[in-house]
Structure formats: C-alpha cells, structure tokens
Amino acid sequence: MPTYVLRCRSCDERIELTLHLDEYEKKMRGGVECPKCHGRAVTPEIASFEVKTARKTASW
C-alpha cells in the first residue's frame, strides 16, 4: 500500500496516510483534517516514489 504525505499549511504538521489509491482519493474529496490543529488546510506533498510506481505501471 502506498504512503501519501500531506502537509498542513496552518501549523506545518506532516501527516502520513497509508491507504489504497481509491481510499485516498475518497478521503481527499471529503477533505482531510489536521490531527494537530484540526484545520482543513491540508495539501498533499509530492512523493517521488509515487512517480516511480506510475512509470512501472505505464511500461506494461
């Protein structure tokens, strides 16, 4: 299962989510709450390994 790294823009908290892609997309659609400040200014950080996974899938 991939790990997604999110960042809270309010308090700079780093949030890690280990979810299947469909679960992650569902969660992002509903909005992610920061566990520290309970704000909703949470945005994904670019994970380099995600790109690697996509490339591997594309070659097949």
Q: Could you tell me how many residues of this chain bind Zn ion (CB under 5 A)?
A: 8
Both tokens of residue 50? 């995600």
Nearer to Zn ion among residue 6 and residue 34 (C-beta):
34
Which one-letter amino acid corresponds to residue 3?
A: T
Return the residues of window 7-46 that contact Zn ion according to CB under 5 A: 8, 10-11, 13, 34, 36-37, 39
Give me the least distance between CB of 55 and Zn ion, in Å please. Answer: 32
CA diameter of the chain: 43
CB 20 within 8 A of CB 53: no
Point out which residues bind Zn ion (CB under 5 A): 8, 10-11, 13, 34, 36-37, 39
